Amino acid sequence: MAASISGIGIGLGLSCSSNLSKSLHSSQSSGFRVKMTVSVEDKKKNYTLQKSEEAFNAAKNLMPGGVNSPVRAFKSVGGQPIVIDSVKGSHMWDIDGNEYIDYVGSWGPAIIGHADDEVLAALAETMKKGTSFGAPCLLENVLAEMVISAVPSIEMVRFVNSGTEACMGVLRLARAFTGREKIIKFEGCYHGHADPFLVKAGSGVATLGLPDSPGVPRAATFETLTAPYNDILAVKNLFNSNKGELAAVILEPVVGNSGFIPPKPDFLEALQRLTKENGTLLIFDEVMTGFRLSYGGAQEYFGITPDLTTLGKIIGGGLPVGAYGGRREIMEMVAPAGPMYQAGTLSGNPLAMTAGIQTLKRLKEPGTYEYLDKITGQLVQGILDAGKKTGHAICGGYINGMFGFFFTEGPVYNFDDAKKSDTAKFARFYRGMLEEGVYLAPSQFEAGFTSLAHTQEDIQMTIAAAEKVLSKI
């Protein structure tokens, strides 16, 4: 049985089985292609991960679990984690010499492609002046102006070094501004690993099967209330039972850390109305969606302006970065303008600012998001068609450069729906796709990402690989 969600705006596709609730748009794709031809002989060579296995076994004696971020350990998909040697455009190579079409994109930042020549050239020039000043630099002004002009909610911005740090700062700011402590977050939404957010957090926590994390004191999460994503009635009930106590509602406007889950029609608008009526701040965590769904992020795409926004990933062009911003009256509470303290040694460092500036310049070029819409739509439709053809329950969707699919009939509206997916099947699919030269996120509960460097050849090779693997599992 096929089901679909529609009416969420032009450019959104979400479907189950083979129906995709939008037509594919034509786009100007010239100027966005990075030719990465892969010969048939190369693809047919024996697939081995011997060097990756040796390196990973050594890493396990040096770092917890052998990695510096849990999802990289392949716990939810099994098999040998791959150790990457290099990346370029839409492709990556591991230390065994295997080549992959990449749909992780460093978890989102590589929207113009890996190791872009213009970004690398700009970084080389900046490095001649130094890598970190620990003092103001003009590049901070340039990127700040670009972010403020692009993102509807942001009148002032503070740069930090990660999405986690951005969410930590914005939460403290919301509490300082409102004089309240309680917040609402949504089940399956991930806002970094700070203590107050590790409650039904999705992403790596879900991948490891942990409800939250040991070491988080009850007091740190006592003021964190949760509701199912897309359930406005549950949110209303929380407001009614906590009148005058809620500092903020924070959410991923499109969930990426439970897999790809878009909002139902009017969900974001209803949240905006509720927060305004109750003197509560609405926070969009756009670490994933910022500059990916549109140049102005999800808030521009859906036409809903929050009070505060967090950003990361893309605005650093592949270097460590994060940011939070919003209305001037709120942001002027941040030190040294105001009493809410937050600081960082490497915040606004010249390298991250340079990479971000060059990336945003490219994204502003005509046809950018039309191209992302076209190739991502073709990719998702092709995978869903392959799933139906080979007899699998599968559903999925996309918005421009962000996508996902689940091994369940669907539809998927929230984390509980996502957990109905056949994760064992996804694991088999994942390992099969690796052998076919396609690198996806190693978890059913993560979104995928396309880039301007992905070509029609990449998309068609991926669809062919998916059909081949799906026919075997």
pLDDT for 160-214, tens place per residue?
999 999 999 999 999 999 999 999 999 999 998 888 887 765 555 544 434 467 7
Structure tokens, 167: 């969410």
- In three-state secondary structure terms, 255 is strand
**Cα–Cα distance measured from residue 120 to residue 296, given in angstroms and rounded to the nearest whole number:** 25
Structure tokens, 252: 């991923």
β-sheet with 395-399: strand ranges across: 12-16, 395-399, 402-406, 448-449
**Cα–Cα distance measured from residue 343 to residue 47, given in angstroms and rounded to the nearest whole number:** 47
Over the stretch 395-413, which tens digit does the pLDDT of each residue have?
A: 999 999 999 999 999 999 9
pLDDT value at position 325? 98
Q: Does the pLDDT at position 34 exceed 50?
A: no
Structure tokens, 190: 């991930």
Domain boundaries, the chain: 50-114+367-471, 117-364
Q: Give residue for tokens 């492609």.
A: 113
Q: Does the pLDDT at position 19 exceed 90?
A: no
Measured CA distances, 207 to 56, 57, 143, 379 (Å): 19, 21, 35, 24
Q: Which residue out of 22, 182, 313, 374 is catalytically annotated?
A: 313
The H or E element that residue 224 is part of is: strand 224-228
Q: Does the pLDDT at position 24 exceed 90?
A: no
Query: For 457-471, what is the mean pLDDT?
Result: 98
Q: Which position has the higher pLDDT, 31 or 388?
A: 388
pLDDT value at position 282? 98
Over the stretch 268-291, which tens digit does the pLDDT of each residue have?
A: 999 999 999 999 999 999 999 999
Which DSSP category does 112 fall into?
A: T
Q: Which residue out of 100, 103, 190, 324 is catalytically annotated?
A: 190
Q: What is the pTM of this model?
A: 0.89
pLDDT value at position 199? 74
Which DSSP category does 294 fall into?
A: S
pLDDT value at position 215? 81
Pairing of strands 402-406, 448-449: antiparallel
Residues 6+ apart with CB under 8 A from 351: 123, 126, 127, 131, 132, 319
Query: For 131-137, what is the mean pLDDT?
Result: 95
pLDDT value at position 202? 55
* Partners of residue 278 on adjacent β-strands: none
Nearest CA to 372 among 460, 293, 259? 293
Q: Does the pLDDT at position 252 exceed 80?
A: yes
The yes-or-no answer on residue 285 being catalytic is: yes
Q: What are phi and psi of 224, to 5 degrees?
A: -100, 115
Whether the Cβ atoms of residue 287 and residue 323 lie closer than 8 Å to each other: no
Structure tokens, 218: 């009850």
Amino acid identity, residue 346? L
Query: For 49-58, what is the mean pLDDT?
Result: 96
**Cα–Cα distance measured from residue 111 to residue 365, given in angstroms and rounded to the nearest whole number:** 13
Structure tokens, 133: 């000043």
**CB-based burial of residue 176 (10 Å sphere; 0-12 exposed, 13-18 middle, 19+ buried)?**
middle
Instruction: Label residue 41 by pLDDT band (50, 70, 90).
Output: very low
Q: Kindly state the percentage of the chain with pLDDT values over 90.
A: 82
Q: Which residue out of 94, 96, 285, 458 is catalytically annotated?
A: 285
**Cα–Cα distance measured from residue 151 to residue 331, given in angstroms and rounded to the nearest whole number:** 15
pLDDT value at position 130? 96
The CATH number for 50-114+367-471, chosen from 3.40.50.300, 3.20.20.140, 3.90.1150.10, 3.40.50.10190, is 3.90.1150.10
Q: Answer whether CATH 3.40.640.10 is correct for domain 117-364.
A: yes
Query: For 456-462, what is the mean pLDDT?
Result: 98
Q: Give residue for tokens 């490891």.
A: 208
Whether the Cβ atoms of residue 461 and residue 439 lie closer than 8 Å to each other: no
Which three-class secondary structure string do you get for 311-360? EEHHHHCCCCCEEEEECHHHHCCECCCCCECCCCCCCCCHHHHHHHHHHH
Over the stretch 331-373, which tens digit does the pLDDT of each residue have?
A: 999 999 999 999 999 999 999 999 999 999 999 999 999 999 9
Whether the Cβ atoms of residue 268 and residue 253 lie closer than 8 Å to each other: yes
Instruction: Label residue 45 by pLDDT band (50, 70, 90).
Output: low
* Partners of residue 87 on adjacent β-strands: 92
